[in-house]
Chain A
Amino acid sequence: MALIEGALAGIGRSAMEKGRSLGGTLDFSFRVLRRMFSPQTYNAAVRMVLVNQIYFTSVQILPLVATVAVIFGVMFIGLFGQYLRDIGLFRFFGHMLMGFVVTEFAPFIVVLLIALRSGSAINTEIAVMKMNGEIRTLEMFRIDVIDYLFIPRIVSGIVSVVLLSSLFSLIVLVSGLFFSSIIFGMSLNDYTALLIDSALFSDLAVMFLKCATFGFFIVLIPIRFGQRASEELTSIPVSVLNGMVNVFIAIVIIEVLSLITLSVIKKLL
């Protein structure tokens, strides 16, 4: 009986801790959002950090995103298009491209690449700065840490995921055009008409909102966990580990919420 009580107490304690942590993250998110939309936040120093962060997060990863998009476009479009033609459902080729590749696959791949690359780097950077006393130093000199350190990184995350997802989609659609014309004998006009017929404004709107939400949280969560590092060196890998696990949980939650939102919108329309 005592064992069961102990186990239940443990579960309850863990749930309460997770709830407190989630509440803290949401509170931090609202504070960041308020500052993000305030023009006073963006002084000369913050603008310079923002430009650098956009370069590190979007520009440096461009070759990798483009390569993955080309490989995916060549393999997937060709194989899937051929399969649809074989089963007599080629008329759904446009829906597959717009409904799956552009709205689901492109954002998911891009967010994974950015989370693995930039999310982990930002988590480590903030944890090291915390351990080193640099964050305390900035606060000592009345330099707002949210404005100077966090917002440029979060904004660059949002910009990067939105733009790179769009680029990924564009490359895949161009690959689709190549296969459609060479292998399936489809003209440019027919291909374009297929895409336009399959493109729904609600899908694209939810996709952009989803990309922006992804970009926001895959940087905010590593920052939050980086701040939890203590003055011990060993707290850094623990902070990065926890940060990245929570990033992936957030990616799944946002993906599920976007699918629910899309199905609700379609029902209403």
Chain B
Amino acid sequence: MVSADAPLISNLSVLGNIALILEFHYGMSKRAAEKKVMGHLAALGMEDIAHRRNFHLTYEERFAALVLRALMVRRNAVAIDRPFLLMPGLPYGRHIFALLEKVEDLLYEGAVFDYEWNRERYEEG
């Protein structure tokens, strides 16, 4: 779930938040999990946010962290809930699809849920 109702854990960095899923779901050690997460962040060109906490992220960085966290779940079915709520300044949906394209090998199943009046924002740009 990628949603404002499922925030990042505030006392963990981005790296800790995403690695936590691997540690619990796959039984990985902390080091192995963090190494794997750093690889995924590097694929997104976002290694510099690894050690930042929720409060110090931009909207886009937070969105990317939330998406990566959801993608770490085994056989994930990612529901992105109202992404424009998570990124208020975003005019069109192409940023969302561009991000998902970079990590499409991790995505098993996904869907974006939004209000009807936002449909054009996904179609434009």
Contact = CB atoms under 8 A, between A and B. Distances in A.
Interface of A: 43-45, 48, 125, 128-129, 132-134, 136-138, 140-144, 148
A48 B23 CA distance: 11
Contact of B6 (A128, A137, A142): A137
B105 interface: no
B20 A133 contact: no
A45 B20 contact: yes
Contacts of B29: 44
Interface of B: 1, 5-7, 9-11, 20-21, 23-25, 27-30, 33, 69, 73
B24 A140 contact: no
Given A44-B29, A45-B30, A134 B23 contact: no
B5 A136 contact: yes
A129 B23 CA distance: 21
A125 B28 CA distance: 27
Given A140-B1, A141-B21, A141-B73, A43 B27 contact: yes
Given A45-B20, A45-B23, A133 B5 contact: yes
A44 B5 contact: no
A136 B6 contact: yes
Nearest to A125: B11
Contact of A134 (B9, B28, B69): B9
Nearest to A149: B9
B27 to A, nearest CB: 6
A134 B17 CA distance: 11
Given A140-B1, A141-B73, A45 B6 contact: no
